[in-house]
Structure 1
Amino acid sequence: MCIGFLLTAVLLLRIGWMDSQRALTFGERLAGYSVLAAGLVELIAALATLDYWHQRKRAYSGPLLMAGVGIVFLCSSSLLFLQIGERFTGWSVIGISFLTGSILAGVELVKLRAWKGLRYPGRIAIGAIVPALLAGINLAYTQLYVPTVTAPLIMSGAEFKEASLDSARSVLHVTVHAYVRNNGSVPVYILGSIYWVHGGPANDIHQTTDPSSSFKLIYDGEFVTPAGRELDPGEEISQDAVIDIKDPDKLKLDYEILRTQTEIYAIRRDRMTLPPEYGQSRSSIEALKRDRKWSAGEPGNAIYRDESNISNSSEILNIARGRQSIRAWKLSFPNWSRIELAITPPGGRITFDPHDPHYRKQLIDRYGLSLARGSMDQTPFKMLLEKARAAEKHPAPEQSGQ
C-alpha cells in the first residue's frame, strides 16, 4: 500500500506541477494546483501506512489511509473515464491497475473500520464535502463552462482595389485586398486561408462551389502566411495580392463580372498548442509520395500537406488522449479549392470521408474548429479594364518634396 501511495504521489505531483505552470486556461491551472494538493495527501498517506500497519499510535493514520485510497480511486477512475473512445495506451494499463488496487485496499480498510480514529466521522465528511461541492460547481461554471460556450468570432473578406495594364496591354494586373479579423474574445490559430478570384456572367447567382455555376476560377491562393499564425482578439491580418489576367480584351466577352471571396480555417488556442513547425512543414504531394510518406486514405486531389504534432490544453488531456498530430491538405478542384483537416495519433491511418457528417465533429467539439466564409466582392470586368486604361492615359502626378 505504501508503494502504491508513493507511485500515485509521484504521478500526481508531476501532472499537477505541469498543469499549474503550463495549462492554457485558468480553470485547468487551478485544477493543476488541486492535483498537486492531492499528491501531497498521497505522500502523507504513504507515511501513515507505516504507523497504521505496525504501531497504530496515531489516531488519524487510518482516516489518512482511507483518504489516500479515495484519491487513488478517484484519479484512476477519472483517467479511465477520460479515455472512453480513445486509444488503449500504457496509461490505460496504469489506470486499471491503480483502480483495482484502490478497490481492494478500500474493501480491506472498511473491514478493519479504519475510520475509528475520528470522533465524528459523519459530521467531518459532510462539513468537507458540501462546501467543496458548492465551490466546485461555481468554479466549473465560471471558469470551465462559460469559456467553453464562448465561440470564436472570426470575420474575413476580400475586395478589389486598383487595376493596371502592362506595357503591351496584354495582361491586366488586378489588386485584391484580403483580410481576417478576430472580433471575438477567444484567441485562435489560423490553420489555413484561401481566397478565390472567379469570372463569369452577371446573371449567374449560384455559388462558385456549385457545380451548376458558370463562373470560372481565375486564381486562388492563401493570404495568411505562414500557416499556423496566431490571431489575438482585436487583431487583423491582411495582404494585398496582384492577380494577372492575360488577354483581357478577349476575356471581357466571357467575364462580365469578377468575384472574390475568402475562407478561413481557425482553431482555438485555449484548446491546444500548435508549434511553429506547422507553418514550416509544407510538402507537395509529389514529394510525400516520393518519400513514401503518403497513405492511401488521404485525399487524392490534394496539392500540399501541412502537419505537426500538437499538445492539448493540459497534461491530463495529453495523458488521456495520447500523442496527437494535425494534418491539413489543400484540395484542388476544376473551379474552386478548399482545405481539409484531421487530427490523429502520429503515423495513424487517415480515413478521409468528406461526406461523413461526423468527419469534423472531433475537431469542432474538442478543439473548436471554425470555418469562416468571408464576404464577397464583385465588380464589372469592363469597368476594371476601363479604369486601367484611364490610369494609363492619365497617370498620377509625381510628388516632390522640398
Structure 2
Amino acid sequence: MEHRTKVTVRPPDGRGLREVRIGAETVDRAWSMRDLRGILRRHGYPQDLDLEDKSEVCWTGGGSDAWPDHAWRRRTTIGFMAFGLVACMALLIIIGVPDAFDAMTFAGRLTGFLFILGGVAEGAAAIAAFDYWGKRSLNISGAIVLLGVLIAVTVTTLLVFLWFQEAEATLYTLAFFPHFFWSLWALWVVVREKIWRGTPYPTRIAAGVAATAILAGVNFSYSSLYQPTAAPTNLALQVRYGTPRMDRERPVVHLPVTLHLKNSGSVPLYILADGWTVYGRTGKYVEKSTELRDRREALEAAGDAARHVESFKRTTLGTGPFTGPGNWFDPGEEYTAQKMVEVPRTAKYDVLEASLDAMVMRKDRGTIDLDTFGTAQLSWDKKSRFYCPPKECSEHLVYHAEVAYSTNLITVTRKPRYVTSWWALDPEDSDWGASISTFKGKGLVKDEETQQEYRRYDLFTVDAQASIPFADIVDPRLP
C-alpha cells in the first residue's frame, strides 16, 4: 500500500467551509465532498480515494455528511450581486463618457471622469463578489464590494431624484429604476452580513466614498446650476441712421440703417431668432388737448402716449432677419450689417422708427445641432413637415433642431427638447419667434411647457430702437 500523508478535514465554519489539511499544512477549504475531492486530486491523491477510510482521512467536528453550505443561495447571491454591479458599471460608463470628453465646462468633464472611475470600481466589485461569497482569498474583497454598492446607491438615487423633477419616461428609465431597487437590495445584503468586518481601514474607505459622492454632486451642481446662473450675459444691440440721399432720377430717398450686435457678456450666446424693421409712423394731431390721448390703448400695448397726437399708425418700409437663426457669438464677438430703406419723397410720415430684436439662448445651457437648425424649411412647401396652406396662415421660414442638454446626467432622465424658430412676412408686417419644447414638428406646443423651458435654458429677448423725424430725410438742403 502506498504511503500518503494523512488528510484532516476540520469542522465547518460559520459559512459552511471546512478547512482541509494535509499533514500539518492547511492547503484549502472545501464546500462539499465534490470540492474536497477536487482539492485532493490537485495535491496528488487519486480520484477514487476512500474518504471514509480513517487511515487516509480524519474527520473532525462532523463526518463526511456535514456540509452545511447552501450552495444555491450563495450562488444566487453571487450571481445577482455580480450582475447588478456589471450593469451599474455599464450605466456609469455610458453616462460618464459623453461628459468626460464633450462637456462644455471643466466641472462637467470632471464629473464625467468621476462616473467612469465609478464604473471601473463597479467592475472591480463584481469580480470581488465572487471572492467574498467564495473562499475569501483576499481580505479586501468585502471592502471592494462595499465600495461598489455604495457607489451604486449614490448614483441611482441621484438619477431617480433627477427623473422625478420632470417624471418623463425615457428608455433609460427602464434601466436606472431597476438599478435603484437592486442597489437597495444590495445595501441590505451588505449591511445584514456586515461586510465591512475584517476589512482594513473601513472608516477610511467609507470616508473616501462619501468624499467622492460629495465631489460629484458639487461638480454637477456647479456645472448645471450655479455656473449657468452666476455667469453674466449681455447682448448689446444698436440701431443707427446714416446720411439719407435723394435719388437723382426717382422721387425716392435712400436711407441707410446700420445694425450692430455685440456679445458683451462672459457666456457664448445662440441667436434663436432675430429681425429688423423700419416703420413709417403717422398720427392725427390735436392742437388743443387737456389730457393724454389714446391712454388706454397705449397702456394695453405697453407703448407711448402723446398729448397732441392720437391714432398712431405704422407702415412697414423694410424688414427682414438680421444674423439669422443658428448663429452664435463668443464673448466679445460682434456683427454689423447695413440695410438700405427706400422711402417715397412725397410720403406723409411724421417719424421713421427702426427696431432690432433678437431672442437669445445661453450656450452653456445646451447645444444646438446647427447643421440642422441653420436650414430653413418652407411653410408653403407641401413636402415640409411644417407645411401650412397659405390660405390658413402666413408664409413662414421655419428652423427646427434638437437641443442637447448641458450634461448627460440630464439627458438620460428627460425627453429630448427641440428648438423651433420662425420668421414670417404678412402683407402688413413681419413676425418672428422661437420656443423650446418637446415639440418635434407635429401636434401643438403647450404654452406652459414653453415658459418652463424659457427659464431652464435662460432664453431672453433684447431689442434696440431708433427714431428720426421724417422731415430730416426730405430736407431739400440735403445733397
TM-based fold match above 0.5: yes
Query: Does 1:163 pair with 2:251?
Result: no
Query: Does 1:381 pair with 2:461?
Result: no
Distance 1:9 1:295, change over 3 A: farther
- Determine if contact 1:331/1:339 at 8 Å carries over to the other structure: no
How much has 1:30 moved relative to structure 2?
1.0
Aligned counterpart, 1:173: 254
How much has 1:99 moved relative to structure 2?
0.9
How much has 1:106 moved relative to structure 2?
1.7
Within 2, Cα distance between the matches of 1:326 and 1:127? 42
Aligned counterpart, 1:224: 323
- Determine if contact 1:330/1:340 at 8 Å carries over to the other structure: no
Query: Does 1:360 pair with 2:457?
Result: no
Within 2, Cα distance between the matches of 1:312 and 1:221? 31
How much has 1:378 moved relative to structure 2?
1.0
How big is each residue's C-alpha offset from its partner over 1:169-192, in whole Å with a ceiling of 9 and x where there is no partner?
233221111111111101111112
User: Which structure features the higher share of helix residues?
Assistant: 1
Distance 1:371 1:150, change over 3 A: same
How big is each residue's C-alpha offset from its partner over 1:196-233, in whole Å with a ceiling of 9 and x where there is no partner?
111114889959885974233222212214x2112111
- Determine if contact 2:276/2:354 at 8 Å carries over to the other structure: yes
Within 1, Cα distance between the matches of 2:362 and 2:329? 10
TM-score, normalized by length of structure 1? 0.83
AA partner of residue 314 (structure 1)? T
How big is each residue's C-alpha offset from its partner over 1:294-350, in whole Å with a ceiling of 9 and x where there is no partner?
489xx9556221111232222222222243321112255745533132332545633
- Determine if contact 1:322/1:345 at 8 Å carries over to the other structure: no
Of 339-348 and 192-201, more deviation after overlay is shown by: 339-348
How big is each residue's C-alpha offset from its partner over 1:64-105, in whole Å with a ceiling of 9 and x where there is no partner?
212212222222222222223153011001111111111122
Counterpart among 357, 373, 377 of residue 263 in structure 1: 357
Within 1, Cα distance between the matches of 2:206 and 2:446? 52
How big is each residue's C-alpha offset from its partner over 1:97-123, in whole Å with a ceiling of 9 and x where there is no partner?
111111122212222221112255346
SS at match of 2:352: strand
- Determine if contact 1:273/1:313 at 8 Å carries over to the other structure: yes
How much has 1:351 moved relative to structure 2?
2.2
How much has 1:144 moved relative to structure 2?
5.3
Aligned residue-pair number = 377
Counterpart among 151, 168, 174 of residue 71 in structure 1: 151
Structure 1 gap ranges (5+): 392-402
Aligned counterpart, 2:82: 2
Within 2, Cα distance between the matches of 1:142 and 1:282? 32
Aligned counterpart, 2:418: 325
Within 1, Cα distance between the matches of 2:130 and 2:388? 56
Structure 2 gap ranges (5+): 1-80, 286-292, 305-310
Query: Does 1:115 pair with 2:196?
Result: yes
How much has 1:23 moved relative to structure 2?
0.3
TM-score, normalized by length of structure 2? 0.70
Aligned counterpart, 1:59: 139
How much has 1:124 moved relative to structure 2?
4.9
Q: Which runs of 4+ in 1 moved over 6 A?
A: 202-205
SS at match of 2:188: helix
Counterpart among 187, 194, 198 of residue 279 in structure 2: 198
Aligned counterpart, 1:277: 371
Aligned counterpart, 1:239: 337
Task: Please identify the structure whose Cα radius of gyration is greater.
Answer: 2
AA partner of residue 377 (structure 1)? A
Within 2, Cα distance between the matches of 1:256 and 1:139? 56
How big is each residue's C-alpha offset from its partner over 1:7-33, in whole Å with a ceiling of 9 and x where there is no partner?
221232233222111001111111111
Distance 1:83 1:134, change over 3 A: closer
SS at match of 1:321: coil
How big is each residue's C-alpha offset from its partner over 1:107-148, in whole Å with a ceiling of 9 and x where there is no partner?
122222211122553465357636974896599559952442
| Correspondence list, 1:128-147, <5 A | 129=210, 133=214, 137=218, 140=221, 145-147=226-228
- Determine if contact 1:224/1:238 at 8 Å carries over to the other structure: no
AA partner of residue 265 (structure 1)? M
AA partner of residue 260 (structure 1)? A
Aligned counterpart, 2:478: 390
Aligned counterpart, 1:23: 103
Counterpart among 444, 447, 451 of residue 350 in structure 1: 444
Q: Give the alignment's Cα RMSD to 1 decimal.
A: 3.2
Distance 1:210 1:278, change over 3 A: farther
